[in-house]
Amino acid sequence: MAHLVDGVVCTPVILAGAAVAVIGIAVGLRRMDGERLPYCGLMSAAFFVSSLVHVPLGPSNVHLILNGLLGIVLGWAAVPAIFVGLLLQALLFGYGGITVLGVNTVIMGLPAVACFYLFAPMVRRDGRHTWPWGALAGAFAILLSCGGIGAVLALSGREFLPAAQLVFIAHLPVMAVEAVVTGTIVVFLQRGKPEVLVLAMRLPTGQPGRA
pLDDT at 61: 57
Q: Encode burial over 112-125: b for 16+ CB neighbours within 10 A, e otherwise.
A: bbbbbebbbebbbe
Q: pTM for the complete prediction?
A: 0.88
Contacts (Cβ under 8 Å, ≥6 apart) of 94: none
Q: How confident is the model at residue 210 (pLDDT cuts 50, 70, 90)?
A: very low
The candidate with the shortest Cα–Cα distance to 36, out of 79, 67, 65, 66, is 79
3-state SS, residue 55: strand
**Which pLDDT does position 205 carry in this prediction?**
52
CA distance 43 to 154: 31
Our CA angle for 185, 187, 192, nearest 5°, is 90
How distant, in Å, are the alpha carbons of 20, 78, 82, 87, 123 from that of 24? 6, 9, 11, 15, 23
How many beta carbons lie within 10 A of that of residue 28, not counting itself? 24
Would residue 209 be called left, alpha or beta, if left means φ above 0 and alpha means ψ between -120 and 50 degrees? left
Cα 142–21–40 angle (5° rounding)? 70
* Planar angle of CA 60, 95, 83, nearest 5 degrees: 120
Does the pLDDT at position 173 exceed 90?
Answer: no
* Average pLDDT value for the chain: 85
Reference 189, options 65, 81, 88, 74; nearest CA is 74
Give mean pLDDT, residues 138-151: 91
Q: For residue 29, which of 98, 66, 104, 81 has the smallest C-alpha distance?
A: 81
Read off the pLDDT of residues 71-110 as tens digits, 9 standing for 90 and up: 999 999 999 999 999 999 999 988 888 999 999 999 999 9
Cα 143 to Cα 111: distance, rounded to the nearest angstrom = 9
- The beta strands (E) that lie in the chain are given as 55-57, 60-62
The confidence score (pLDDT) of residue 159 equals: 73
Domains in the chain, start-ordered, CATH in brackets? 11-199 (1.10.1760.20)
Which residue did the predictor score with more confidence, 43 or 95? 43
